[in-house]
Amino acid sequence: MITSYRVIALFIVSIFIHWHGFAQTHCTFDAEVKRIYSEIVNLDLDLARNELGQKESKHNKAYILLENEIDFYQLFVYDQKTDFQNLKSNKNKRIDEIEDSDLPLEWKRFLKAEILLQWTLIYLKQDEELKAFQSIRESVQLLEENVDQYPKFMYSYKSLGILHSLLSTIPESLQWAARLLGLSGNLQAGKNELQKFIQFAESGQDLFTNEANAAMSFIYCYLDNKPEQAYSYWIQKMGIQDPNALQVFVQCKIANKAGYNDAAINALQSLDQTQRDKLPYLYFLMGLTGLQKLELKSDSYFLKFLQLYKGSSYIKEAYQKLAWIALLKGEEGLYHLYISNCLTKGNALTDEDRQAQQEALSNKIPDVTLLKARLLFDGGYADRAYEILSSQKDYYYANAGKKLECAYRLGRICQLKKQFVNALQYYNDALVFDPQMSSYMTCNALLQCGIIYESQNKKQESAGYYQQVLKTNPDQYKRSIHQKAKAGLARLKG
């Protein structure tokens, strides 16, 4: 009898020890975690930070990931250099805490990889490319080891799918770093991995469902070069949810890429001012979508953006857009005032900011008709753009300084109208007008020829144009154009 009591006592103690160990270290995306995560993606960062700070116990290591999510959005959305200096040490502290825990190995690897991936994006935004590549390498290694050893652990496939997709399109200028670190990817494999996670996530209303769907939408849009499909996918997946600022940002970017400018305007206007104020870049997008419809009152949105946003990116581009609006209004003096700010305000890390700075340095005032055609094309208003520009083709073709841009713009417009024979002819004119292929317009003309032939399933011709693109050294947008050519070659191989 005594022996049986001892057995029962030991059994109870073992259960207690097991339960106590679980309480000390586990990772569970429970209702409390989901609630705080929802606050984070709703950009209520102070509220989420305060709630995490009040936790008496953080046995659930999912809270470490939530803390890093807060830092990520703080740095990525608001882009303050002082915040970066204050928060950057948190990355290693959190990774060490995860490593020192007795979490199962697959959870350790996943949580560390997520933190590393988020800091990769922060490093890129801070122009620290080497640290970004080091974080990518470590993240990929952790996730690939997880997939090899724990193939049924579904969370590995989310970020690994994203990384494998992106790594398939590393621009030529960064290939040296990728080779040095042993990084490579495959677009189709990456999409398959991400889709595998999405199927798992949607079956159980997982924490990361919307994040994974946003990632897939961006892959369809920017890597597969199928923005219309990406927009349909996003709308289908988001259904009738009440959108928050980040969701509208995703929807607007994809709609804009697809040429659905009115849809982007509607999405932006669906938010109240409180939501927009959380993400000041939305005011920039309101200005841009209005400008692409030639609504000149959109200058008020760019000014609102500059008033609220305390970061350094997009500042030069905002002043450039204000300068364009002034020019379209016939206020040349105000144009010069705004464009001069592109030399002294903000940084030049994005392609668009660099282009704005280059315009200011060139001292060349844009041609109003060509500018209108460009803006209307960007908004998807192909018929209006063609009507404005085609009637003046002969005039521009007789002008040595403007014929290249005219040919390029007409090619883009005809491509949007699906008049591919005419588009290819105009792109060929652009190549004739710039045989050295020094302009980004000529290089992008090559890229668009590749895209047209790819859409017609003429793979050999398409690959030839993509390969030509990678041999060019354009004056602007080199990294972006080369990455798109790499994505095209990756699609053809897939």
Nearest to 452 by CA among 427, 481, 482: 427
Question: Which pLDDT band holds residue 177 (cuts at 50, 70, 90)?
Answer: low
Q: Does residue 308 register a pLDDT over 80? A: yes
Per-residue pLDDT, 369: 97
- C-beta contacts of 14-22 below 8 A and 24+ residues apart: 21/102
8 A C-beta contact, residue 388 and residue 382:
no
8 A C-beta contact, residue 264 and residue 378:
no
Parse the chain into domains and list their residue ranges.
23-225
Q: Give exposure, 458-479, as e/b (b: 16+ Cβ within 10 Å).
A: eeeebbebbebbbebebebbbe
Inter-CA distances, 46 with 40, 290, 475, Å: 9, 32, 43
| Mean pLDDT, residues 140-146 taken together | 96
Per-residue pLDDT, 204: 86
| Mean pLDDT, residues 83-101 taken together | 94
Residue indicated by tokens 């857009």:
321
β strands within 72-164, DSSP E:
none
| 60 DSSP β-pair partners | 26
Question: Which pLDDT band holds residue 11 (cuts at 50, 70, 90)?
Answer: very low
Give per-residue pLDDT as tens, 18-70. Answer: 433 445 789 999 999 999 999 999 999 999 999 998 876 668 999 999 999 99
Per-residue pLDDT, 488: 93
Helix (H) or strand (E) holding 51: helix 45-53
372, HSE (Cβ side, Cα atoms, 13 Å): 17
C-alpha 219, offset from chain centre: 9
Q: Does residue 17 register a pLDDT over 50? A: no
Question: Which pLDDT band holds residue 81 (cuts at 50, 70, 90)?
Answer: confident
**35, two tokens:** 């609630």
Q: Does residue 14 register a pLDDT over 60? A: no
| Mean pLDDT, residues 211-230 taken together | 94
8 A C-beta contact, residue 375 and residue 327:
no
Q: Does residue 388 register a pLDDT over 60? A: yes
Q: pTM of the prediction?
A: 0.88
Q: Does residue 157 register a pLDDT over 80? A: yes
Nearest to 469 by CA among 455, 456, 453, 457: 453
Residue indicated by tokens 């609102």:
304
| Mean pLDDT, residues 408-427 taken together | 97
| Mean pLDDT, residues 356-378 taken together | 96
Per-residue pLDDT, 20: 39
Question: Which pLDDT band holds residue 9 (cuts at 50, 70, 90)?
Answer: very low
| Mean pLDDT, residues 326-337 taken together | 97
8 A C-beta contact, residue 425 and residue 433:
no
Q: Does residue 289 register a pLDDT over 70? A: yes
Per-residue pLDDT, 427: 98
Residue 282 CB burial class (10 angstroms; 0-12, 13-18, ≥19): buried
Q: Does residue 13 register a pLDDT over 70? A: no
Per-residue pLDDT, 12: 40
Per-residue pLDDT, 201: 95
d(CA 359, CA 338): 12
d(CA 258, CA 219): 13
What 3-state class would DSSP assign to 428?
A: helix
Per-residue pLDDT, 48: 96
| Mean pLDDT, residues 438-455 taken together | 96
**324, two tokens:** 């364009």
| Mean pLDDT, residues 413-441 taken together | 96
Nearest to 419 by CA among 427, 379, 373: 427
Sequence letter at residue 494 = G
Q: How many CB atoms lie within 10 A of CB 444?
A: 25
Per-residue pLDDT, 16: 38
Sequence letter at residue 488 = G
Inter-CA distances, 450 with 102, 272, 380, 453, 454, Å: 52, 42, 21, 5, 6
Radius of gyration of the chain (CA): 25
Mean pLDDT of the chain: 91
Q: Does residue 364 register a pLDDT over 70? A: yes
Proportion of the chain above pLDDT 90, given as a percent? 80
Residue indicated by tokens 């080091």:
134
